[in-house]
Structure 1
Amino acid sequence: AGFYYIPGTDTCIKLGGYLRAEVALGSNAVYGPANGAPAGAHNRTSNYYTMRARQDLNIDTRTATEYGVVRTFFDATFSWTTGGYVGTGSATGATGYTGTTAGTAVINPTDGGTSGGSLGVYYAFIQFAGFTMGKAVSQFD
């Protein structure tokens, strides 16, 4: 139940997931109101909005073979958050954009430390003949 039979094959597939989006207007960060520096100035050194999104995708396939059913399963989540502008402390008013760069840590704690994107794989496995291979729930949990 819930699977789609792929015509011409012995395979059924089920796709699932969700998308969650959030926008904070008049804010320099999701958790910070725009009432202090630099966000309260509402100029080029602050964002007018902050966006976050999280998507979850799961794919479940079942294929009938002579030796039994082959099952593949994949479940992953993708998250993304915009960064925020902060002053660098120079007298010229130079600013810096916070967020993540490849190979660096998150440098903007004002939005919950989530600036940039991330990928999380919950499950990715193949089941066949009583064996499970890949990332799955442990038998010892």
Structure 2
Amino acid sequence: MNIKSLLIGSAAALAAVSGAQAADAIIAAEPEPVEYVRVCDAFGTGYFYIPGTETCLKVGGYVRVQLGFGEGTSERSDYDIFARGRLEVTAKNDTEYGTLTSVVRLRGHASENNAGYDDNWTELEEGYIDLAGFRVGKIYSWWDDDLFSEGDYLSNNTLFASARYVFTGEAFSAGLSVDELTWDNGTGAYDDANIGLTGMLSGAFGPVSATLLGSYDFDYEEFAIRGIGSAELGPGTLSVAVAYASGENTYFNAAEWTVAADYAFKVTDKLTIAPFGQYFWDYQLDSRIGDAWTVGLTAEYAVTEGLTALATVNYFDADDNNLNDSVTGFLRLQRDF
């Protein structure tokens, strides 16, 4: 009886152990938790958190197709078609010094009928770091901000390697920028890099806003000043700009004095039209060829969300007999994302 009980107990124990091993063999390991991309609404729409970090990322850009027309548009004909694209990546996160921002903008251009050769290129358009009012990198200067219309001439090259600081108050802002300047010497080659200094003062008072710029080119030892103001007037916005150049410089040298104005008004919710005019005293400072003026019309139409069509036509006339009157313009289709 004892032997039988012992055998039965041993068999039961063996079965229990075997059953436990069989059960353990089919238990699957729990999967690792997956971190899904989260929307970041701290810096506006379009941002999302980089997984595993507190940094918010935004991806955007545009695709543009443009047809330019007018005498001298290219060496082959009086028109030129090109395609251009921009890819922009912005990263932001909060720090003890404020919002840390970094921006990378890559731009590509393709044209098969420009100056008699294929004009295809890709470049770093902008790349900078921004923190506590300081911005360093390759950036557009304040001279790049101009009128709504597309026919005005209020600056030269506006993209520099710069270091700048901006103080922002409730109704005004002030900034100072140190710019590395390079200038085409007329032979297709560029002079050695030099230094420029730009000061900015801007304010907004209800429907009226104004910005004053002053820049000094240490290589040419000349300066340029420009003021732009705008005001909401009736169904649109009236903008006026005045610029002065003491002589040849990198920032603005189209004339000794110039004044420009446009009026951008909404015909419908989708269509905006802006007539403009500009007058130059002592057009082209290097040769003092005389006065000149230009007038034009720009129309922008929002086809649908993210897709815009823009057209402009401009007439130019100069006192100098060596410069022919000209009509130029372009048609543009742009998809922003």
Tell me the TM-score normalized by structure 1.
0.50
- Structure with the bigger RCO (C-alpha within 8 Å, sep 6+) is 1
Structure with max Cα Rg:
2
User: Normalising by structure 2, what TM-score?
Assistant: 0.23
